[in-house]
Amino acid sequence: MYNKKIKITFAPLFGKFKTKLFNMKIAIPTKDNMVDEHFGDAEQYTIYTIDNQSKIVSQENLACKEGCGCKSNIATTLHKLGVEIILAGNMGDNAKNILEDNQMKVIRGCKGNIDDLIQAYLVGNVSDNGEGCHHKHSSHDCGSAQISTPIVLDKASFLSKVFNYEAQAEKWVYEGDKPAIIDFHATWCAPCKSVSPILEDLAKEYAGQLYIYKIDIDQEQELAAVFGIQSVPTFLFIPLNDTPKMASGALPKENFLKIIKDLI
């Protein structure tokens, strides 16, 4: 039950985890077969699948609604498709941070024909120019838009954003600046899929007040082991200055709303 305070303990870890080699996916925000000059104005995302010999295996198009990418759920969508790298034109720091929080490397300052760009990248002739977008729009500033999508965590980002259990194993110390909900889930879990749209809605409704994180227990077995996750979905509710609490099962939205009211 949610009202049961948990004592942070650490289950034995599973040892070393093997990783598998997969094809890499690269996405380019595209307009008229050219790199979109401003992230969010793209007609589609062109997604290239690259093999381990830097050869293009396939190409697909992901249609998108026009509008600023940093206010949409495109980061979550691209991550689910397995995209690891974004080759983009101009992009604000906030949009870049959201994409990177979803485990994608962002390379800004790209221009020209997308087929020429991908070939240049594959031979090492493309690098990030380090410049963000300075455009201001009627609805928001690209550099200050709030995170409004769930954020995917791996071990490294968990240690830096949530709890560094390697440095502080005996006492819970939250690294974040806002309360958070962590969704421990799995791709094969039907109840997890039923809760996912609720979490996406909550991320939009409470943007700027709350972080919603997602951890795939199959991809991050060490994190699942550290918290002794036995079933999914399991949720960790993290206040700013108190002990986290845990609940299991597919909670309805009204339960999340009551819990969030206490968190913030």
Active-site residue list: 189, 192
Q: Which two tokens stand for residue 76?
A: 């979550």
Residues in the chain: 264
Q: Which two tokens stand for residue 89?
A: 């034109």
Q: Which two tokens stand for residue 7?
A: 């004592």
Dist CA 229 CA 106 (whole Å)? 32
DSSP helix/strand/coil, 42:
coil
Dist CA 33 CA 41 (whole Å)? 13
Q: Which two tokens stand for residue 223?
A: 């994190």
Beta-bridge mates of residue 48: 26, 59
Instruction: With beta carbons less than 8 A apart as the criterion, state whether 110 and 35 touch.
Output: yes
The DSSP secondary-structure symbol of 66 reads: S
φ, ψ of residue 221 in degrees (nearest 5):
-65, -30
Q: How far is CA 195 from the centre of its chain?
A: 17
76 Cβ neighbours under 8 A, 6+ residues apart = 102, 149, 150, 152, 200
DSSP helix/strand/coil, 18:
coil
